[in-house]
Amino acid sequence: MIEKLSDDKTEEELSAEFQEILLEDLQNNIQSYDGATNILTDFADYTLENFREYAEAGIKEVTDTIFEGITINDDIFNAIVELYYHHLRTTNFIGITTGIVFGGYGEKEIYPSMVSIQISEVLDNRLRYYDFDKCEISDNNNGAIMSYAQTEVINMFIKGIDPEIDYTYISVFQKLLKDYSNTIVGLLNGENDELAQKINDFDLSILVNEFEKQLNQLKREKQISPTLDTVAILSKEDLAEMAESLIYLTYLKRRISSTEESVGGPIDVAIISKGDGFIWKKKKTLL
């Protein structure tokens, strides 16, 4: 906001301009929620008036602290309240969240299914949560490996490449193309300006997108599909051992790297099957 302010104005004029820019920015953000479809289940019938009654006094206390020394008008305050309301009704979670994963069988299901739920805070006795991910085994989907929380090691096992390196391939290729294009244009300038301009105007994102598409296809053919095809025919005991090994690899990677060691300790392993239900394969003893 400060960077948008004009130079050589009085403090009073700058204050008025600041509020004008702030209100415009707030209104643009509010408009971005028009037609939003990602409304949280518990907030589908939650109105702006409900939110005002619950939170207006608290928001007023916060804004008075943030804008200390600046008097903001009612339009700005109402826009802040409305923007906060729209944000809290949607799946745009910011800050600390947690997740719960449910897996198993229903009474009428032949194959297992799984659903994960992302959970944030409670507001006005309403829980902010939404279905984050789902997976169902079926005749057309014989196997799956789903990763949560610290996912990089498991994703590397599935895709055959570290996710950070995978992302780097695209950015490096994009930079290489740009540098190559600039080099060719530099060589042609003065010799063939028309061709140099055509090369300079060429949309390199076409080549980058094609490279990414072919790279993803190669990963699927060489790594992802063979891995999932193997998982689909493994015994229950082998699947349990594989799951435990992947968790341990995540712990080991965290332990020998400089990243936060958030995975570790004894690993509980259970098998859920249609016939036997829930059975512990390995369970730590609590003292």
Q: Report the range of poorest mean pLDDT among 81-85, 172-176, 187-191.
A: 187-191
Which range has highest mean pLDDT (145-149, 211-215, 251-255)? 211-215
Cβ-contact 202, 181 below 8 angstroms: yes
H or E stretch at 224: none
pTM value? 0.64
Whether the predicted pLDDT of 13 surpasses 90? no
Q: What is the pLDDT of residues 207-240, one digit of tens each?
A: 889 988 988 898 888 888 888 888 888 898 999 9
Cβ-contact 286, 265 below 8 angstroms: no
Which distant-in-sequence residues (6+ apart) come within 8 Å of 14 by Cβ?
A: 5, 6
For residue 154, how many other CB atoms are within 10 A of its CB? 19
Q: Of 146, 156, 144, whose CA–CA distance to 225 is shortest?
A: 144
For residue 89, how many other CB atoms are within 10 A of its CB? 23
Cβ-contact 243, 278 below 8 angstroms: no
CA distance 167 to 50: 44
User: CA 199 → CA 179, 181, 209, distances in Å?
Assistant: 12, 7, 18
Cβ-contact 81, 56 below 8 angstroms: yes
